[in-house]
Structure 1
């Protein structure tokens, strides 16, 4: 199996996260896929943003769930990173998918439901993926077990990934109960036991957020299904060297 390299929130080391600039750069770097985040606005529009508030990554303030899509569009999502990116906007999932489906890349959508539940987000996102013909190229992931369970119930064929920054007790029983098809662990959890357990249970490992060469190489050695990185160019270069060594 060849490990795939996904750009975390786009090529977010080099351009403002979750903007078209970061996504286009990931495509230019020839990343295999993009990992990005979805939340719902006050008027139920699915949008691409990581934080529950817009404070850190725009020039405005407020919670995503308390603002309409048009209000979010007034915010500058690029200038905080660099003046070179002033004018970048928070994107709707529809606009993102309209661009993305024309690329050769794979997609990982994380539903950010671990703090606010965003009732109905699972069905909304599944409907958008269906409308854009993107279900077969997409994985839906979440830290929230109930979100994965709802996705699996709504569409048993949908690829799902359970995100975790720690190893819960009875991990594989939990994943089986909620219908998670893959494990998305934090890179520091990757060790021989986890790798062996995933092999035994035939569970793909898609590890996040892997930026340092030593951890990228460890994930390559473990034959992880996916490496999610802020620096996809670095991961691809290390992969090239690893494959020829």
Structure 2
């Protein structure tokens, strides 16, 4: 049983400590471990089709020096994913967003949909993606790019939007970011200054890079509405401690 201070846990790229990031195996593992949702990353193919992949470049998991948006969806679907010494025999493929969305809606498993940099080059594809979009209750959009969240808010104002913070963010002007409802921060920002800035601007927050050992997990600040972690089981267990 969760304690009264329990904060929802989103598995970062799925339960990525236990399976390849942004894969169906990682998503299913997150569900199995009791996560409250998953964080996924959206890039665009050359045609503007949303796919679930973190890096704009394919080098780390595919081993080629091309950008995601330089490849057609057919090319992207043929690539095998994984570390270099495992890639040849890997069964992992880049998921299409529509397939992940269908899976999430079937399980009513909330999504933290992070909009990545390749979308900046094809904003019309984001508008098309949003048209008629149905996502599980508790889902939201996040991005480092405020202009993408403005598009989401313009076309789908009912959905929560979260700005992922950088050093450039002017915290004293946080209330000027009218197209966002929340902020996502690295755990190093779990400090009174930033938490109070959220309160002052009437915004809530989530923290990422959580590993389950943080003392603040058992007594979270009232503005915190989510943890984002590679280890959902550990974070859930820590929160259950009285």
Question: TM-score of the superposition, structure 2-length normalised?
Answer: 0.88
- Distance change >3 Å, CA 66–CA 84, structure 1 → 2: closer
The match for 1:74 is 78
Structure 1 residue 235 corresponds to structure 2 residue 235:
yes
Give how far 1:114 is off.
7.6
Give how far 1:9 is off.
0.3
Q: State the Cα deviation string for residues 131-190 of structure 1 (Å, max 9, x = none).
A: 4x31644201111111111211122222100111336223413322xx101111111111
Contact 1:10 1:19 in 2 (8 A): yes
Alignment of 1:1-245 (within 5 A): 2-78=6-82, 80=84, 86-113=90-117, 116-127=120-131, 130-131=132-133, 133-134=134-135, 136-166=137-167, 168-169=169-170, 170-176=172-178, 179-211=179-211, 213-214=213-214, 217-223=215-221, 224-241=224-241, 245=242
User: Mean Cα displacement is larger for which, 186-195 or 165-174?
Assistant: 165-174
Contact 1:38 1:93 in 2 (8 A): yes
Equivalent-residue separation in structure 2 for 1:186 and 1:137 (angstroms): 21
Equivalent-residue separation in structure 2 for 1:105 and 1:220 (angstroms): 24
Structure 1: state its 5+ residue gaps: none
Contact 2:43 2:118 in 1 (8 A): no
Give how far 1:105 is off.
2.1
Contact 1:195 1:222 in 2 (8 A): no
Q: State the Cα deviation string for residues 85-129 of structure 1 (Å, max 9, x = none).
A: 8211101000111111111421100000288533224313312xx
- Distance change >3 Å, CA 110–CA 171, structure 1 → 2: farther
* SS, match of residue 73 in structure 1: helix
Over aligned residues, Cα RMSD in angstroms? 2.3
* SS, match of residue 228 in structure 1: strand
Structure 2: state its 5+ residue gaps: none
Equivalent-residue separation in structure 2 for 1:107 and 1:230 (angstroms): 15
